[in-house]
Structure 1
Amino acid sequence: MRSALGSAVVVLVLLVVWEGLHLAVSNSGLPSPVATLVRLGVLLGDADFWRQAGETGRAFAAAVVLSTFAGIGLGILLGMNRTTGAVAQPILVNLYALPKVTLYPVVLLIFGLGISARIAFGIMHGMIPLTLFTMNAILNMKPVYRRSAAVMGLTPWQSSFYVVLPAILPEVITGARLGVSLCLLGVLIGEMFAARNGLGFVVMQAMERGDMPSVLAVALLLAMLALVVNAALLALDRAWRR
């Protein structure tokens, strides 16, 4: 109850600030919360909008699944060897700091203008943070776990699956929470730069028309989606920590 009350207070404060900024600007550049919600209701009643949302949803779901499995697998592979992890960490950090937009022409050259390019762009955003979280969790794990696995004669695969992964699961879920949000960001950026469908394409069209209510309505919908997914992963994190 305390957490729900705190969240409600934060949302209320944000709405008040939003309304205050709208009144301060006093033009159509920043629609009010009410106008944005009304526009969102109109969009949700449009069949074409749901088709565009479905395209984004497909790319987002594929990017999340692939980046999660690839990130955890690569993180375990690098983290099981301390030397490999120490060498790989600065490389991954530098790769993640590189602006992904600069790599988009390469992605388009390899995957074309279809959904594959958007999935690849989402994976590029979401995989590296999860890899870093998983790798660092293994490097900081209590040595007794891996020593016990070695004494019991477990193979590297058995040790990874039955000992290491359960021990670092809270950190993995934390990385997954960040990775999911970044996957959504990557997919949307991919749709905004080179796509003929998806919510990112809808936002770009609305910006070209100067339709700010539609832009903010889509942004609000995406924010609510990200919050719901993040809340679900946070609840899973709390349950598995116990």
Structure 2
Amino acid sequence: MPRITGTALVLLFCLLLWQTLHLLVGASSLASPFQTVVKLGSLLATAEFWQNVAETMRAFAAAFLISLVGGIALGILLGVRRLAGNVAEPILVNLYSIPKVVLYPLVLLCFGLGISAKIAFGVMHGLIPITLFSMNAIRQMKPVYRRTAQVLRLSSAQSAFTVILPAILPEVISGVRLGFSLTLLGVLIGEMFASQRGLGFMLISAINIGQIDTIMAVALLLTIVAVTCNSLLLLLNRRMGYR
């Protein structure tokens, strides 16, 4: 109950701050909460908006699946092989520190215009964090788990799926939470640069013509989706941590 009350107070504070900023800067710079909700409601009633949502969700689902499976598999591989992990970790960190926008021309050259480029841009954002979380979770794992797998003479695949992955699952979910948000961000940025459909395209189009209410409505929808999914993953992470 106290947690629900605290969440409600935070939401109320954010709404009051939003309304205050709207009154200070005016509707031409920031739509009010009421205007934003009304605009979002009108967008949800149009078929074109749902087509853009479907386009974004298709690209995001593919990018997140690749980031999830690839990140966990690569993280386990580098975590088990300590030398390979020690060599790969600084490389991955340095790669992730590069602003992804400067790599977008290369992505377009390799994948062309369309959904493939958006998926690639999403994977570029989400793969490395999940890999690093998974790899470091194995490094911090109790040695008894791996020794047990050796005593039972499990194969590498059996050891990974029946011993290592269950042992590091709470830490992996933490990486997945971060990877989820960053993958979505990457897909949206990809849609802003080279796309004719999607929520990112809607955002950049609204920015170009100054439709503040549309910008705020799309941002509100994305915030609700991201916060809801992140909260569900956090709840799962806490439950796994208590086991």
What TM-score does the superposition give when structure 2 sets the normalisation length?
0.97
Q: How far apart in 2 are the matches of 1:13 and 1:133?
A: 33
The alpha-carbon deviation at position 104 of structure 1 amounts to 0.7
The alpha-carbon deviation at position 148 of structure 1 amounts to 1.6
Residue 207 of structure 1 aligns with which residue?
207
Q: Which amino acid aligns with 2:193?
A: F
Question: Aligned residues: percent identity?
Answer: 59
Residue 97 of structure 1 aligns with which residue?
97
1:39-80 deviation per Cα after TM superposition (whole angstroms, max 9, x unaligned): 111111111001111100111111111110000000001000
Q: Which amino acid aligns with 2:127?
A: M
Q: How far apart in 2 are the matches of 1:79 and 1:156?
A: 13
Q: Which amino acid aligns with 2:133?
A: F
1:74-131 deviation per Cα after TM superposition (whole angstroms, max 9, x unaligned): 0001000111111111111111111011111111111111101101110110010000
Q: Gaps (5+ residues) in structure 1? A: none
Residue 142 of structure 1 aligns with which residue?
142
Q: How far apart in 2 are the matches of 1:31 and 1:136?
A: 43
Question: Is 1:171 aligned with 2:171?
Answer: yes
Q: How far apart in 1 are the matches of 2:229 and 2:217?
A: 19
Residue 185 of structure 1 aligns with which residue?
185
Residue 38 of structure 1 aligns with which residue?
38
Q: Gaps (5+ residues) in structure 2? A: none
What TM-score does the superposition give when structure 1 sets the normalisation length?
0.97
> Does the residue aligned with 1:168 lie in a helix, a strand or coil?
helix
> Does the residue aligned with 2:188 lie in a helix, a strand or coil?
helix
Show the 5 A alignment for 1:6-85: 6-85=6-85
Q: How far apart in 2 are the matches of 1:211 and 1:234?
A: 34
The alpha-carbon deviation at position 27 of structure 1 amounts to 4.2
Show the 5 A alignment for 1:124-143: 124-143=124-143
Q: How far apart in 1 are the matches of 2:68 and 2:101?
A: 21
Q: How far apart in 2 are the matches of 1:154 and 1:22?
A: 62
> Does the residue aligned with 2:229 lie in a helix, a strand or coil?
helix
Residue 233 of structure 2 aligns with which residue?
233
The alpha-carbon deviation at position 239 of structure 1 amounts to 2.5
